[in-house]
A and B are shown apart, each in its own frame.
Chain A
């Protein structure tokens, strides 16, 4: 596979927490524009893997490449600047700021203090803001304080904050956690809209949702790579079935 075509290349990644090998010798390649879903039981290491990609956790072995640039163990804000966006399991937005302010912060062109001493009035691209807000069902909430958003709207705001930055790779940790069926549907629409323009890696448990959106699935088990392929391949994979023996297979 040409380096140009792959957005994320993980090579032999591992992390050892005082004797506990949370992730071991994991490798994965994700193509540009792909929607990859990470599956695995709780404790399989999926979130830890994401933590290592975005810099939240330091790895103890292996390397990660974004495009052709290495991002292994770089500081999180640098990795973010290089093009990785991360959405967390517990929605994290800026509670005391309004939706518009949240997006303004996310959309800032410059990241250093000195470059940002100028006024807020310039450099706010209102068109782009409106576009992203309508993409994420937040058109009417521009001046609403983030802490007053509903349970389903907060992850959409977080998603909007990622989208507006146009990152090369977006990491989503259980994007539909705690959502109603209606909200899940809306979220899958947002994600389908993103397909093709962004590379997305999502951790999910909701299989109906996974069927809707996934191009390819990678299964992790006990911190290691177990299987990879399209949803039909995974469902018929013996090793995967064995791993989930007793839980009645994947539904």
Chain B
């Protein structure tokens, strides 16, 4: 008879979680599947922030920057592929907002309708959009890592800098109307296509696209955490200097995993624009980035699955409350209060409590 150990219990939890999300289409209709897909995407953001914060020790207060970058990159491709863009009268597709903002005698072509529109040209290829959705966040993360982590700057200032970046990005994206669509963001998008198959956001196939992506991200992240590099990363989180004096270049580990976290967030953004059919500067709202941190804190920052489930459940809860105007504001207040309480009394989040219970269960059966 197999002994029930703590690690067995962990595997069971993962299997149950995966089974649940993969079987939801049996119970939900297309509208609810679409909504659930969005929550799963938030779950992916939970994974990203748990990796960065719980394991690498880098609290990114501007996760929305990576998420938004991913969304906009694919969004640009999907915008160009939409029927509206193709019918603007030029040889090349042109986003409608560029037409509205154009000078009276501008050339009706994507290359030159305004002085930055040529940057959109490569996005006519959806693959380029997909590539950039991951590459741009990784590039930004890599820059932050190489420039800032190396300098041994205190963790709090890294958080402040990421915060400043997302605030700035929000302003810049809204300001650059002729390039990004400004305040309205990118709307009226084509459906995502793979080999001719179109992903209608309100179908089971799109749901599985998201669900399976989440499973893959979860598993890859787990593998990374369980690797030697993952253990070294946690050592660096615990005592950066000790790790350095054992021969590890702490900054390179932090940068690597920060980039992985950014890639996951970019990927989540990409999936979001496919599912929600828009990309908006609100992705870079401060409140959204902070919400992600709160989800992970409540779920358990040092638990990949914990942060994932925390993100999914709290965002679900928040959405169900948003029907009533008054409740929206008080939900925010409740969330704030809960956050303070979690930080004060439950620093390891709900997952921490669950881990404690699991350890007791497995110890009581004679194992440990």
- Residue positions of A touching B, CB distance < 8 A: 54, 56, 75-77, 80-81, 85-86, 92-97, 101-102, 104-106, 108, 110-113, 116-120, 123, 143, 161, 165
Asked whether A116 lies within 8 Å of B244 as measured between CB atoms, the reply is no
A52 CA to B197 CA, complexed, in Å: 63
Asked whether B247 lies within 8 Å of A81 as measured between CB atoms, the reply is yes
Contacts between the two chains (Cβ within 8 Å), count: 87
Given the interface pairs A94-B234, A113-B253, the reply to whether A118 lies near B227 with Cβ below 8 Å is yes
- CB-contacts of B263-300 with A (<8 A): none
Contact with A along B162-201 (1 / 0, CB 8 A): 0000000000000000000000000000000000000000
Given the interface pairs A76-B245, A92-B241, A112-B252, the reply to whether A117 lies near B224 with Cβ below 8 Å is yes
- CB-contacts of B223-239 with A (<8 A): 224, 226-229, 231-232, 234-235, 238-239
Contact of B19 with A by CB under 8 A: no
Asked whether B229 lies within 8 Å of A104 as measured between CB atoms, the reply is no
Closest 8 CB pairs of A and B: A116-B228, A80-B247, A116-B229, A94-B238, A81-B247, A92-B242, A94-B235, A105-B235
Asked whether A95 lies within 8 Å of B239 as measured between CB atoms, the reply is yes
- With a cutoff of 8 Å between Cβ atoms, the chain B residues found around residue A54 in the complex are 245
- With a cutoff of 8 Å between Cβ atoms, the chain A residues found around residue B243 in the complex are 94, 105
Contact of B41 with A by CB under 8 A: no
Nearest-neighbour CB distance to chain B for A146, whole angstroms, equals 8
A232 CA to B250 CA, complexed, in Å: 44
A102 CA to B235 CA, complexed, in Å: 8
A86 CA to B239 CA, complexed, in Å: 14
Please, could you name 30 A-B residue pairs with CB atoms under 8 Å apart, sorted by A?
A54-B245, A75-B249, A76-B241, A76-B245, A77-B245, A77-B250, A80-B246, A81-B247, A85-B245, A92-B242, A94-B235, A94-B243, A96-B234, A97-B234, A97-B238, A101-B231, A102-B235, A108-B232, A108-B247, A108-B248, A110-B228, A112-B252, A113-B253, A113-B256, A116-B227, A116-B228, A116-B229, A117-B227, A119-B227, A120-B227
Asked whether B238 lies within 8 Å of A111 as measured between CB atoms, the reply is no
- Residue positions of B touching A, CB distance < 8 A: 224, 226-229, 231-232, 234-235, 238-239, 241-250, 252-253, 256, 368
- With a cutoff of 8 Å between Cβ atoms, the chain A residues found around residue B228 in the complex are 104, 108, 110, 116-120, 123
Asked whether B242 lies within 8 Å of A93 as measured between CB atoms, the reply is yes
When the two chains form the complex, which single residue of B229, B231, B245 contacts A86, counting CB atoms closer than 8 Å? B245
Given the interface pairs A113-B252, A116-B227, the reply to whether A106 lies near B246 with Cβ below 8 Å is yes
A101 CA to B246 CA, complexed, in Å: 14
- With a cutoff of 8 Å between Cβ atoms, the chain A residues found around residue B368 in the complex are 143
Given the interface pairs A92-B241, A93-B239, A113-B252, the reply to whether A105 lies near B246 with Cβ below 8 Å is yes
Nearest-neighbour CB distance to chain A for B248, whole angstroms, equals 5
Nearest-neighbour CB distance to chain A for B195, whole angstroms, equals 31
Nearest-neighbour CB distance to chain B for A124, whole angstroms, equals 9
Residue of A nearest to B239 (CB): A92
When the two chains form the complex, which single residue of B231, B249, B250, B256 contacts A105, counting CB atoms closer than 8 Å? B231
A119 CA to B243 CA, complexed, in Å: 19
Nearest-neighbour CB distance to chain B for A53, whole angstroms, equals 11
Asked whether B231 lies within 8 Å of A120 as measured between CB atoms, the reply is yes
- With a cutoff of 8 Å between Cβ atoms, the chain A residues found around residue B253 in the complex are 113
Asked whether B239 lies within 8 Å of A77 as measured between CB atoms, the reply is no
Asked whether B229 lies within 8 Å of A76 as measured between CB atoms, the reply is no
A30 CA to B247 CA, complexed, in Å: 22
Asked whether B249 lies within 8 Å of A77 as measured between CB atoms, the reply is yes
A102 CA to B246 CA, complexed, in Å: 11
A245 CA to B229 CA, complexed, in Å: 53
- With a cutoff of 8 Å between Cβ atoms, the chain B residues found around residue A81 in the complex are 247
A113 CA to B251 CA, complexed, in Å: 10
Asked whether A95 lies within 8 Å of B238 as measured between CB atoms, the reply is yes
A161 CA to B229 CA, complexed, in Å: 17
- With a cutoff of 8 Å between Cβ atoms, the chain A residues found around residue B250 in the complex are 77
A86 CA to B231 CA, complexed, in Å: 21
Asked whether A97 lies within 8 Å of B235 as measured between CB atoms, the reply is yes
Given the interface pairs A95-B238, A97-B238, the reply to whether A113 lies near B245 with Cβ below 8 Å is no
- With a cutoff of 8 Å between Cβ atoms, the chain A residues found around residue B235 in the complex are 94, 97, 101-102, 105
A93 CA to B245 CA, complexed, in Å: 11
Asked whether B239 lies within 8 Å of A112 as measured between CB atoms, the reply is no
Counting chain A CB atoms within 10 Å of each CB, the highest count among B242, B247, B256 belongs to: B247
A83 CA to B243 CA, complexed, in Å: 15
- With a cutoff of 8 Å between Cβ atoms, the chain A residues found around residue B239 in the complex are 92-95
- With a cutoff of 8 Å between Cβ atoms, the chain B residues found around residue A93 in the complex are 239, 242
When the two chains form the complex, which single residue of B226, B242, B246 contacts A120, counting CB atoms closer than 8 Å? B226
Residue of A nearest to B255 (CB): A113
Residue of A nearest to B150 (CB): A75
Residue of B nearest to A86 (CB): B245
Asked whether A119 lies within 8 Å of B246 as measured between CB atoms, the reply is no
When the two chains form the complex, which single residue of B242, B245, B249 contacts A112, counting CB atoms closer than 8 Å? B249
A94 CA to B248 CA, complexed, in Å: 14
- With a cutoff of 8 Å between Cβ atoms, the chain B residues found around residue A86 in the complex are 245
A86 CA to B238 CA, complexed, in Å: 17
- With a cutoff of 8 Å between Cβ atoms, the chain A residues found around residue B256 in the complex are 113
A169 CA to B252 CA, complexed, in Å: 26
Given the interface pairs A80-B245, A105-B246, A112-B252, the reply to whether A117 lies near B238 with Cβ below 8 Å is no
Nearest-neighbour CB distance to chain B for A116, whole angstroms, equals 4
- With a cutoff of 8 Å between Cβ atoms, the chain A residues found around residue B247 in the complex are 77, 80-81, 108, 111, 165
Counting chain A CB atoms within 10 Å of each CB, the highest count among B232, B245, B250 belongs to: B245
